[in-house]
Every structure is written in C-alpha cells, then in structure tokens.
Amino acid sequence: MPDSINVAPGVLVPAGALSLRMTRSSGPGGQNVNKVASKVDLRVDLARIEGLDASARARLEALTAHRRDAEGRLLVTSQRTRDQSRNLDDAREKVRALVARALVRPRKRRRTRPTAAAHERRLAEKRRASARKRDRRNLGDD
C-alpha cells in the first residue's frame, strides 16, 4: 500500500485514499516491457483528501474532470521509466502537483480600458480594411 502524500502544511492525501495497480508498460525497456509490470496506475479518492477548503476542492474537481474514472476517482498513470518504484514516485509527484495547483487561488481579473492610442489604432485599421474591401468591389465593375 502506498504511503500518504504531504502536499502542503495541513494538506494531506492519506494512504487510504490511494489505490495502486501495476501493469505492463508501453514505455522504455525493450523486450523487458513484455515481462515486467512497471507501469503504475494510481487512483485517488478526491473526497478523502484532508485539509482542502471548499474553493480549493472545487478547483481540484475542475482540474481533474477529464482524468476521473467511473467511480469519480482521479487516475494518474506513469510509465516514464523502466523501474516500477521510480514510476510510482513519478505518479505520486503528479498527484502532489495537481493538489498543490488546486491550492493556489487564482488572481482576480482587473478590468482595464484600452489606451486612447490603441483605440485609435484599432479604428484606423478598421478604416484601412474597409477601404481595401471597397477598392476590391469597385474593380469588379469594369
């Protein structure tokens, strides 16, 4: 059974929330890939992650929407290396990074207005495009 994953102070993915499966890899390893189960499938029960507030939990749900299985568990795979233990470490790091990303509160967008010069450039470009199309239209009248 894998150990728990410490994400940040107070945020923990407990060992009970993790389930692990090893399968044969399609990654590096030559003929070895046909014999050794070095690919790691790590599933995480997102509801059991400790220390997430409601907004971070919602961000995590949104971040992992496309990576969940039928039961709603996060599925992380790693077959980067030939070694099962290094693939397990890689999968655990991917989970840690995803949860850490969910902890970061996005900055609120501040509305800005275009400068007067930018506004004028936009209008000038629209006038040029309009004239270009008008000139094309006049050429076809011959």
What does the buried/exposed string (b/e) look like for 60-82 if buried means 16 or more CB atoms within 10 Å of the residue's CB? beeebeeeeeeeebbebbbbbbb
Q: Give the pLDDT confidence score for residue 137 in this predicted structure.
A: 85
Read off the amino acid at residue 42. L
Indicate if 26 and 83 belong to the same structural domain. yes
Tell me how far apart the alpha carbons of residues 22 and 19 are, in angstroms, rounded to a whole number.
10
**pLDDT one-digit tens code per residue, 9-29:** 888 888 888 888 888 777 666
In the chain, how many domains are there?
2
Is position 110 within any domain?
no
Task: Quick: pLDDT tens for 59-117.
Answer: 999 998 898 888 888 899 888 888 888 998 999 999 999 999 999 999 999 999 999 99
**pLDDT score of 32 more than 70:** no
In the chain, % of residues over pLDDT 90? 36
- Say if residue 98 is in the same domain as residue 119: no
69 lies in the same domain as 124: no
* Domain span holding position 124: 115-142
